[in-house]
Structure 1
């Protein structure tokens, strides 16, 4: 029950930050953005103290560790892969255009006899 109340408090803090953004419409933008950031920060701190928050932040930490293990392609590999994709697209476009023109010629000229 305490976790649910903490979670509701966290949501209310975020909502208060958003409400402050709109209520302070006459103030400088920096102050309004700081109000939103404070609401999100305090909401996250309260949510972190719940059981669901601990599970979420553990998942986020594990995801960050897994993202560091990814072997990202080099610039050369990226350019080569992009060139291969563009080349394939051009070849397929030419093939589909030729197929369309062939079907058009067979249908309209040979079968129906509609000369242009």
Structure 2
């Protein structure tokens, strides 16, 4: 039991270190991209270098983040979500068009009804306020 607590503590400390490293790398990306940017000149050679550097450091950051306990849980979640998406029965094109048209018609009907009630209440309020004068 003592060994498992020590391994959990080590894992927690290592995860915290990895998350700090992830934050430092993100800060490095933001700072470096801002520091080495050139205003008004997109076609400078350093733009390509900046893009490559941002992509490489971002991939390294993602790799480090995915090696943490939360990252592994996230990858498992994505895999399970993909399995569930494969089980979904998607509507046919005909069903999708019919449903869309039905929703559009109902929206127009409800909108017209609300406009009619608003006009009626507005007329009533104007009539009542003119009588009070």
Q: Superposition pairs for residues 1-116 of structure 1, below 5 Å?
A: 1-26=13-38, 27-28=44-45, 29-106=47-124, 108=126
Task: Give the TM-score normalised by structure 1.
Answer: 0.75
Task: Give the TM-score normalised by structure 2.
Answer: 0.67
Deviates more, 1:94-103 or 1:57-66: 94-103
State the aligned residue count. 113
> What's the C-alpha RMSD, in Å, of the aligned pairs?
2.4
Unaligned runs of 5+ residues in structure 2 are: 1-12, 39-43
Question: Structure 1 residue 41: deviation in Å?
Answer: 0.6
Question: Structure 1 residue 107: deviation in Å?
Answer: 5.2
Question: Structure 1 residue 77: deviation in Å?
Answer: 1.9
Q: Structure 1: how far apart are the matches of 2:32 and 2:59?
A: 14
